[in-house]
Each structure stands twice: as structure tokens, then as C-alpha cells.
């Protein structure tokens, strides 16, 4: 943002507009990912199918909710999804492992837990360069080492930043952050990550139903989270079928690792609409839905996508309407 602020001035620079521009860029990148998967023959969708699934991410997930808010936790996720998508696109297009690593490092410097996406990138690389089931382990080892170097450098910057701020390389400031008392109490009692948080986090992530209290003659969706299946029902297509290939297994590994790490976290996203941490693994989820959709976006999937869009539109509008 700094160049824009320097040119326009801090009062003239609109952070919401900037956030929406980044989210729109992410949509373009996701579309390019899907088109590349079609070109490789990994999925069988047409161009219109790519548009449907790009629309799903942009408007049928909490991405639309976080992209119109300029608060740092939400803006952080807009940036994170952008660099995750760039990392996947760079890998699928056989770019240098330096590029893939730099994009992933940028995502990790935004949200450190996104290291969980690296297995998917490695699996995509293996499938791209495997011929006649012969695995070139020497090449993959080299790719792994090079792609990890930017990540290590990025993590090093984060740790040094902690040292500058707090005199401790491993203190991210969460134990003293100016936030809700209940969050601080949990962190101070159990730490930033703990098995103690798993039941509560999985409930909000996978089970929590709609909460629509009638306030001001308007049903609000404010709360501590909501099941990803309730807010984005099209996600159920992720489980429609399973194919054993390097790239699909890699995507599933990254998704499951993300869910596991998020389930250990001391904060499920706090006051929000839906479960915004879904965005951390949204790119591999969309890729798997694209594969499971088959040759075209079927009528049931279209209905689920439209339902996801309407639910997130209503949820976003009602969240920002606020109470009386």
C-alpha cells in the first residue's frame, strides 16, 4: 500500500477498494489455475465450468465477507489467498521453484500456518514431471530444497521482527495482544496451540448451525463461527469421489494438515460471519471440486453454488448491518 499512500495521501487512499482489487486479482488467478488444469487434462471442465468455480470462491465463501472489510485480520486473509493462488499457479505452470517458494513465503509471512500448503505444491510438481510412472527423486529433492529456501528466509524475517518488537524471537505478541479478555485467558492458560482447543474449533468449523437472532427486525449472522457446510454447501462436492494421483493426494494432505493445525489454534476467528479460516485451504478445495465436477457443472452443483452465493451475500450484508 505504501506507494499508493505516498502518491495519493493517507486520506485519499481507500483500503477497502485496495482489498477488493486484490480479491478480484485472486479471482483471475484462480481462473487461470483451472484453465491450466484443463489444459493438462487433470480436470475435464469447460471454460464456463471454470467461471462457475471462480465465482464460488469469490462470492460463495467468506472471501466476499473479508474482502470488504479493512480491518487487519480480514485484510490479512485477502492477501494470504492471493499469494496462495500465485504459488499454485506458478507451480502448475512449471515456473522456477524460486517463484513458487517466494509466493508461498509471502503467504506464510501473512499467515504462518499456510506452510501446510507446501505438500500440495510438491505433489503437483511430481505429477508434472513424472513420465511412465518413473519418479525422478533427484529432481524433486532439488525442487524441494530451492522452494523451501525463500520460506526459511521469510520465517527468519518474522522471527527477527518478533525480536525487534518483544526481545524474543518466538513471541508473536498473542499473549499480550489488545483483544478480547477470553482470548487472552485461553492463550495464557493453554498456549497458542493446544489439543485442548480441538473440540471447540472443530465444532465451529464443521458443525455449528446458522444463528439468526432477531434484532432490529433483521436476522443477523454475527457469531463465533459457522459450519463451512452451512455457509458454502458446494464444499460437499469435495467428497464426491476420490482419485489416487499425486496432485489430488497432495491437495488432500494440505487440506487435512490445515484443518489439523487450525483445530489446535487458540482462536477460531472470533467475531465473524461463517468460518473465515476456510480460506486458508480454499484453493486446493476448489481444485478438487473442479475434478469431482466431471465434464461440466451439473445442475445439483449449480444449485449448491448459487445457494452458497446467496447465503454469503445475506450473511455479509446482515453482519455489517449490525445491531440496534
Print the domain residue range for 115. Answer: 2-321
pLDDT digits (tens, 9 = 90+) for 12-52: 889 999 999 999 999 999 999 999 999 999 999 999 999 99
- Residue 307 C-alpha cell reads as 445457494
User: In whole angstroms, what separates CA 221 from the centre of its chain?
Assistant: 21
> Across the chain, what does the average pLDDT equal?
89
What is the number of structural domains in the chain? 1
* pLDDT, tens only, 201-257: 999 899 988 776 666 666 666 677 789 999 999 999 999 888 889 999 999 999 999
Q: Which three cell numbers stand for residue 268?
A: 477460531
Over residues 91-131, the pLDDT tens digits come to 999 999 999 999 999 999 999 999 999 999 999 999 998 76
Report the alpha-carbon distance of residue 49 to residue 67 in Å, rounded.
Answer: 24
Average pLDDT of span 136-153: 93
Model confidence, pTM: 0.92
How far is it, in rounded angstroms, from Cα 91 to Cα 46? 22
Contact 42, 246 (CB under 8 A): no
SS (H, E, C) 262-278: HHCECCCCCCECCCHHH
Structure confidence at residue 290 (pLDDT): 96
Amino acid at each position: 500500500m505504501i506507494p499508493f499512500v505516498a502518491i495519493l495521501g493517507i486520506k485519499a487512499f481507500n483500503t477497502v477498494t485496495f482489498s477488493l482489487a486484490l480479491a478480484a486479482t485472486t479471482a483471475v488467478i484462480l481462473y487461470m489455475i483451472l484453465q491450466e488444469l484443463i489444459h493438462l487434462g487433470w480436470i475435464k471442465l469447460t471454460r464456463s465450468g471454470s467461471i462457475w468455480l471462480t465465482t464460488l470462491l469469490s462470492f460463495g465463501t467468506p472471501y466476499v465477507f473479508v474482502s470488504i472489510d479493512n480491518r487487519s485480520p480480514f485484510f490479512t486473509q485477502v492477501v494470504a489467498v492471493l499469494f496462495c493462488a500465485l504459488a499454485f499457479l506458478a507451480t502448475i505452470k512449471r515456473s522456477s521453484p524460486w517463484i513458487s517458494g517466494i509466493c508461498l513465503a509471502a503467504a506464510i509471512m501473512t499467515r504462518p500456518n499456510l506452510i501446510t500448503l507446501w505438500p500440495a505444491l510438491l505433489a503437483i510438481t511430481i505429477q508434472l514431471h513424472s513420465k511412465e510412472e518413473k519418479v525422478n527423486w533427484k529432481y524433486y529433492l532439488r525442487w524441494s530444497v530451492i522452494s523451501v529456501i525463500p520460506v526459511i528466509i521469510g520465517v527468519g524475517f518474522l522471527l527477527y521482527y518478533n525480536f525487534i518488537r518483544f526481545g524474543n524471537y518466538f513471541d508473536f505478541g498473542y499473549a499480550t495482544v489488545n483483544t478480547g479478555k477470553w482470548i487472552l485467558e485461553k492463550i495464557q492458560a493453554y498456549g497458542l496451540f493446544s489439543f485442548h482447543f480441538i473440540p471447540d474449533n472443530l465444532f465451529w468449523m464443521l458443525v455449528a448451525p446458522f444463528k439468526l437472532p432477531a434484532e432490529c427486525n433483521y436476522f443477523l449472522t454475527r457469531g463465533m463461527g459457522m459450519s463451512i457446510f452451512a455457509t458454502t454447501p458446494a464444499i460437499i462436492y469435495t467428497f464426491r469421489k476420490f482419485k489416487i494421483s499425486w496432485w489430488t493426494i497432495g491437495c488432500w494432505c494440505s487440506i487435512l494438515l490445515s484443518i489439523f493445525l487450525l483445530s489446535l489454534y487458540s482462536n477460531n476467528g472470533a467475531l465473524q460471519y461463517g468460518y473465515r479460516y476456510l480460506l486458508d485451504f480454499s484453493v486446493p478445495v476448489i481444485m478438487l471440486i473442479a475434478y469431482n465436477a466431471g465434464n461440466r457443472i451439473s445442475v445439483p452443483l449449480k444449485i449448491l453454488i448459487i445457494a452458497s452465493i446467496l447465503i454469503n451475500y445475506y450473511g455479509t450484508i446482515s453482519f455489517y448491518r449490525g445491531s440496534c
